Amino acid sequence: MSARGVSPAAHVPVMVAEALQGLSVHPGGSYVDCTLGAGGHARAILERISPGGKLLGVDADPSALELAAHSLDEFGAAFVPAHGNFAELESICTRSGFTANDGMLFDLGLSSMQVDTPERGFSFQREAPLDMRFDTSQGAGADDIVNSYSEQEIARILWEYGEERYSRQIAHRIVQDRPILSTLRLAHLVQQVLGSRRGRIHPATRTFMALRIAVNRELESLKLALDQTVNLLRTGGRLVVISYHSLEDRIVKEFMRSEASSQTFSLITKKVIRPTSLECNSNPRSRSARLRIAERLAQG
């Protein structure tokens, strides 16, 4: 699948300065961007690790990986792209020769590049099949959940992953109106249940987020990936995570606090770091961003 009409240059990475400072990026270092996306953070890191530095860029989305690799081609052997889900982070890093790293970055959630590719089915504002898979070669799409899961299971997904207060009403309507095969049909159905827009967000926002998280097993994969960073960071190596909603941030916070109590990490940020008002105004996607930093302590 191609991301027609989408350029990595159009993607504005979130909290770049804060991420670079949190990672303590320096020349000659070894770093892993666990969520490469359009490559914005990766470019900023690569510009600061010469001479002698190297960066592994991991992404589950083959289209994003291809575009980012082309965009970062100028950095030559310093940049190593790798396709895979970060749930298998240790295997990916070992295979690529990144087993003792100075920094690892996660920029979670959905990239604007994926939203802006209509055929991927992530957006509720454009007509497309209900897919929502990061890796289109793996597993079933959102259409499988919407059209084959029980009403109770759909309600659970919308409540647990989307924190949707009207999960039962939406699930009931979905089951009544099946089959639902397109993004706009699902969005319209949710809008009928909930009425007009709630504040600044579209009524279907939480439903689409919940389905995307379920399809890609995002929360389960995040827990697995964070656990694997323990063995992939050298002493003094930094872990930086940017999350965009409370479910992700809660997992990150609990992981870092647990590892700090076990004395495998120290907390560089006791409280979450938020983007500046200037960045929020210039890049609306950053408004919900939350950044946390931890540092690997000496082993054993």
pLDDT on residue 214: 94
pLDDT on residue 104: 98
pLDDT digits (tens, 9 = 90+) for 192-206: 999 865 666 789 889
The rounded distance, in Å, linking the Cα atoms of 32 and 21 is 15
The rounded distance, in Å, linking the Cα atoms of 183 and 275 is 31
pLDDT on residue 8: 45
Domains parsed from the chain with CATH numbers: 8-113+218-296 (3.40.50.150), 120-216 (1.10.150.170)
pLDDT on residue 9: 43
Nearest to 14 by CA among 198, 279, 237, 266: 279
pLDDT digits (tens, 9 = 90+) for 11-64: 689 999 999 999 999 999 999 999 998 899 999 999 999 999 999 999 988 888
pLDDT on residue 131: 87
The rounded distance, in Å, linking the Cα atoms of 65 and 34 is 12
Please, what sign has the CA dihedral across residues 257, 263, 268, 270? Answer: positive
Global model pTM greater than 0.85:
yes
Q: Which residues of the chain have pLDDT under 50?
A: 1-9, 121
The rounded distance, in Å, linking the Cα atoms of 237 and 172 is 48
First-to-last C-alpha distance (Å) of the chain: 46
pLDDT on residue 6: 42
| C-alpha distances in Å from residue 35, one per residue of 109, 188, 200, 260 | 9, 31, 27, 24
The rounded distance, in Å, linking the Cα atoms of 46 and 77 is 11
Give the strand pairing for 54-59 and 233-243: unpaired
Cα angle, residue 147 at apex, residues 146 and 150 outer, rounded to 5°: 80
pLDDT on residue 259: 97
Tokens of 33: 């961007």
- Residue the block writes with tokens 């409540």: 159
Tokens of 96: 């690529």
